[in-house]
Structure 1
Amino acid sequence: MSALGGVVRAGVRRRRVQTLVIGLATMMAVAASVLGGSLLVVSGAPFRDAFDRQHGAHLSVEFDADRVAAGRLARSAGAAGVSAAAGPFRTATVAPRADGSGPGWPMTVVGRPDPGRDVDAVALLDGRWPTRPGEIVLAADAPLFPVLGRRIDFPALSGAPALTVVGVARSVTGTADAWVVPAQMTALTAPGGGGYQMLYRFADASTAERVAAGGRAVAAGLPAGAAAGEQSWLTVAANAERDTAVHVPFLLAFGVLGLVMSVLVVGNVVASAVGLGTRRIGVLKAVGCTPAQVVRAYVAQALLPAAAGTAAGVLAGHLLAVPVLAEAGEVYGTSSLAVAPSVDLAVTGGVLGLVAATAWAGAWRAGRLRTVDALAVGRAVPSGRGRRAARLAGRLPLPQAAALGLVRPFARPVRALAMGTAVLFGAVAVTFTVGMSVSLGEVMRAKAHDVADVSVPEPPPAFGPPGAGPPPGAGAERRPPAGPAAVAAAIEATAGTGRHYSATTVRATVSGPTDLVDVVAFTGDASWGGYAMVAGRWFGRPGEAVVPTPFLAATGTRVGDRVTLNGLAEPVVVRIVGEVLDPRNDGMQVFTDIATLASARPDMTSTSHHVAVAAGTGVSGYVEALNEALAPLGVTAREGGLRSGSDMVVTLDALAAFLTLLLVAVAALGVLNGVLLDTRERVREIGVHKALGMTPRQTVGMVLTSVAVTGAVAGALGVPLGVALHGRVMPAMAEGVGLRLPASVIDVYGAGTLVALALGGLLIALLGALLPAGWAARTRTATALRTE
Structure 2
Amino acid sequence: MSALGSVVRSGVRGRRVQTLVIALAALIAVAASVLGGSLLVVSAAPFDDAFARQRGAHLSVRFDAGRVEAGRLAASGRADGVSGAAGPFRTAPVVPRSDGPGSGWPMTLVRRGDPGRAVDEVELVDGRWPARPGEIALAAGSPIPPVLGASIAFPDLPGGPALTVVGVARSVTDTADAWVVPSQMPALTAPGDDGEGDGSGGYQMLYRFTEAATAAQVSSGVASVTAGLPRGAVLGRQSWLTVRESVARDTSVYVPFLVAFGALGLVMSVLVVGNVVASAVGTATRRIGVLKAVGFTPGQVVRAYMGQALVPAAAGTALGVLTGHLLAVPILAEAGEAYGTSSLGVAPWVDGVVVAGVLGLVAVTAWASAWRAGRLRTVDALAVGRAAPAGRGRRAARAVGRLPLPQPVALGLARPFARPARALAMGTAVLFGTVAVTFTVGMAGSLGRVMEARAHDAADVVVPGPRPGPGPGGARSDGPPRVDPALVAGAVESTAGTARHYAAAKLRATVAGVSGIVDVVAFTGDASWGGYAMVAGRWIERPGEAVVPTPFLAATGTRLGDTVTVNVPAAPVTVRIVGEVLDPRNDGRQVFTDASTLAAARPDLSESSHHIAVRPGTDVSAYVGELNGRLAQWGVAARAGGSGGGSDMVLTLNALSVSLTLMLVAVAALGVLNGVLLDTRERVREIGVHKALGMTPRQTLATVLTSVAVTGLVAGAAGVPLGMLLHGWVVPTMGEGAGLRFPGSVLAVYHPAEVVPLAFGGLVIAGLGALLPAGWAAGTRTATALRTE
Instruction: Report the Cα offset of residue 465 of structure 1.
Output: 7.6
The answer to whether the 8 Å contact 2:92/2:188 transfers is: yes
Q: TM-score, normalised by structure 1?
A: 0.97
Q: Is 1:99 aligned with 2:95? A: no
Aligned partners of 1:573, 1:561: CA distance in 2, in Å? 10
The answer to whether the 8 Å contact 2:103/2:474 transfers is: no
Aligned partners of 2:423, 2:71: CA distance in 1, in Å? 79
Candidates 349, 356, 363, aligned match of 2:363: 356
Candidates 245, 248, 258, aligned match of 2:252: 245
The answer to whether the 8 Å contact 1:547/1:589 transfers is: yes
Q: Is 1:225 aligned with 2:226? A: no
What amino acid is aligned across from residue 186 of structure 1 in structure 2?
P
What amino acid is aligned across from residue 368 of structure 1 in structure 2?
R
Tell me the secondary structure at the aligned position of residue 516 of structure 1. strand
The answer to whether the 8 Å contact 1:102/1:466 transfers is: no
The answer to whether the 8 Å contact 1:711/1:764 transfers is: yes
Unaligned runs of 5+ in 1: none
What amino acid is aligned across from residue 284 of structure 2 in structure 1?
G
Aligned pairs for 1:123-202 within 5 A: 123-191=123-191, 192=198, 193-202=200-209
Instruction: Identify which range, 218-227 or 422-431, moves more after superposition.
Output: 218-227
Instruction: Report the Cα offset of residue 323 of structure 1.
Output: 1.1
Q: C-alpha deviations, 1:341-376, integer Å up to 9, x for none?
A: 111111111111111111111111111111111111
What amino acid is aligned across from residue 97 of structure 1 in structure 2?
R
What amino acid is aligned across from residue 283 of structure 1 in structure 2?
V
Aligned partners of 1:204, 1:100: CA distance in 2, in Å? 44
Candidates 268, 273, 281, aligned match of 1:261: 268
Tell me the secondary structure at the aligned position of residue 113 of structure 1. coil
Aligned partners of 1:684, 1:99: CA distance in 2, in Å? 86
The answer to whether the 8 Å contact 2:101/2:143 transfers is: no
Aligned partners of 2:590, 2:374: CA distance in 1, in Å? 68
Instruction: Report the Cα offset of residue 261 of structure 1.
Output: 0.3
What is residue 441 of structure 1 aligned with on the other side?
A: 448
What amino acid is aligned across from residue 362 of structure 1 in structure 2?
S
Aligned partners of 1:239, 1:550: CA distance in 2, in Å? 9
Aligned partners of 2:618, 2:673: CA distance in 1, in Å? 55
Q: Is 1:608 aligned with 2:609? A: yes
The answer to whether the 8 Å contact 2:101/2:470 transfers is: no
Q: C-alpha deviations, 1:418-475, integer Å up to 9, x for none?
A: 00100010011111111011100100000001111111111234x548855688xx9x
Tell me the secondary structure at the aligned position of residue 571 of structure 2. coil
What is residue 365 of structure 1 aligned with on the other side?
A: 372
Candidates 311, 314, 324, aligned match of 2:318: 311
Aligned partners of 2:567, 2:13: CA distance in 1, in Å? 72
Tell me the secondary structure at the aligned position of residue 109 of structure 1. strand
Aligned partners of 1:240, 1:309: CA distance in 2, in Å? 33
Aligned partners of 2:290, 2:520: CA distance in 1, in Å? 81
The answer to whether the 8 Å contact 2:465/2:607 transfers is: yes
Aligned partners of 1:641, 1:412: CA distance in 2, in Å? 54
Instruction: Report the Cα offset of residue 120 of structure 1.
Output: 0.6
Instruction: Report the Cα offset of residue 102 of structure 1.
Output: 9.5
What is residue 286 of structure 1 aligned with on the other side?
A: 293
Candidates 187, 208, 211, aligned match of 2:215: 208
Aligned partners of 2:386, 2:405: CA distance in 1, in Å? 29
Aligned partners of 1:4, 1:102: CA distance in 2, in Å? 71
Structure 1 stretches of 4+ with a deviation exceeding 3 A read 99-103, 463-471
Q: CA RMSD in A?
A: 1.6
Instruction: Report the Cα offset of residue 780 of structure 1.
Output: 1.0
What amino acid is aligned across from residue 111 of structure 2 in structure 1?
G
Tell me the secondary structure at the aligned position of residue 542 of structure 1. coil
Tell me the secondary structure at the aligned position of residue 46 of structure 1. helix
The answer to whether the 8 Å contact 1:451/1:640 transfers is: yes
Aligned partners of 2:472, 2:246: CA distance in 1, in Å? 25
What is residue 656 of structure 1 aligned with on the other side?
A: 657
Structure 1 residues 480 and 265, CA, compared in 2 at 3 Å: closer, same or farther?
closer
Q: C-alpha deviations, 1:393-413, integer Å up to 9, x for none?
A: 011111111111111111111
Instruction: Report the Cα offset of residue 380 of structure 1.
Output: 2.3
What is residue 620 of structure 1 aligned with on the other side?
A: 621
Aligned partners of 1:327, 1:730: CA distance in 2, in Å? 24
What amino acid is aligned across from residue 436 of structure 1 in structure 2?
M
The answer to whether the 8 Å contact 1:510/1:566 transfers is: yes
Unaligned runs of 5+ in 2: 192-197
Aligned partners of 1:274, 1:445: CA distance in 2, in Å? 54
Aligned partners of 2:291, 2:103: CA distance in 1, in Å? 86
What amino acid is aligned across from residue 435 of structure 1 in structure 2?
G
Aligned partners of 1:358, 1:240: CA distance in 2, in Å? 40
Aligned pairs for 1:535-684 within 5 A: 535-684=536-685
Candidates 289, 296, 300, aligned match of 2:307: 300
The answer to whether the 8 Å contact 1:120/1:199 transfers is: yes
Aligned pairs for 1:477-488 within 5 A: 480-488=481-489
What amino acid is aligned across from residue 359 of structure 2 in structure 1?
L
What is residue 278 of structure 2 aligned with on the other side?
A: 271
The answer to whether the 8 Å contact 1:99/1:467 transfers is: yes
The answer to whether the 8 Å contact 1:506/1:606 transfers is: no
What is residue 113 of structure 2 aligned with on the other side?
A: 113
Aligned partners of 1:132, 1:595: CA distance in 2, in Å? 42
Structure 1 residues 457 and 340, CA, compared in 2 at 3 Å: closer, same or farther?
same
Q: C-alpha deviations, 1:683-711, integer Å up to 9, x for none?
A: 11111111111111111111111111111
Instruction: Report the Cα offset of residue 483 of structure 1.
Output: 2.3
Corresponding pairs, count? 782
The answer to whether the 8 Å contact 1:455/1:642 transfers is: no
Structure 1 residues 352 and 775, CA, compared in 2 at 3 Å: closer, same or farther?
same
Instruction: Report the Cα offset of residue 138 of structure 1.
Output: 0.4
The answer to whether the 8 Å contact 1:101/1:470 transfers is: no
Instruction: Identify which range, 484-493 or 64-73, moves more after superposition.
Output: 484-493
The answer to whether the 8 Å contact 2:466/2:481 transfers is: no
Instruction: Report the Cα offset of residue 207 of structure 1.
Output: 0.5
Q: Is 1:406 aligned with 2:413? A: yes
What amino acid is aligned across from residue 486 of structure 1 in structure 2?
L
Q: C-alpha deviations, 1:53-80, integer Å up to 9, x for none?
A: 1111111000001100000000001111
Structure 1 residues 80 and 467, CA, compared in 2 at 3 Å: closer, same or farther?
farther
Aligned partners of 2:634, 2:538: CA distance in 1, in Å? 36
Structure 1 residues 654 and 504, CA, compared in 2 at 3 Å: closer, same or farther?
same
The answer to whether the 8 Å contact 1:610/1:641 transfers is: no
What is residue 324 of structure 1 aligned with on the other side?
A: 331
Tell me the secondary structure at the aligned position of residue 27 of structure 1. helix
Aligned partners of 1:452, 1:102: CA distance in 2, in Å? 29
Instruction: Report the Cα offset of residue 491 of structure 1.
Output: 1.5
What amino acid is aligned across from residue 170 of structure 1 in structure 2?
R
Structure 1 residues 206 and 465, CA, compared in 2 at 3 Å: closer, same or farther?
farther
Aligned partners of 1:328, 1:466: CA distance in 2, in Å? 31
Aligned partners of 1:253, 1:162: CA distance in 2, in Å? 55
* Identity, % of aligned positions: 74
Instruction: Report the Cα offset of residue 384 of structure 1.
Output: 2.4
What is residue 773 of structure 1 aligned with on the other side?
A: 774
Q: C-alpha deviations, 1:644-703, integer Å up to 9, x for none?
A: 220010001001111001000000000000010111111111111111111111111111
Instruction: Report the Cα offset of residue 336 of structure 1.
Output: 5.8
Aligned partners of 1:43, 1:227: CA distance in 2, in Å? 32
Tell me the secondary structure at the aligned position of residue 514 of structure 2. coil
Aligned partners of 1:525, 1:335: CA distance in 2, in Å? 49
Aligned partners of 1:508, 1:397: CA distance in 2, in Å? 75
The answer to whether the 8 Å contact 1:74/1:87 transfers is: yes
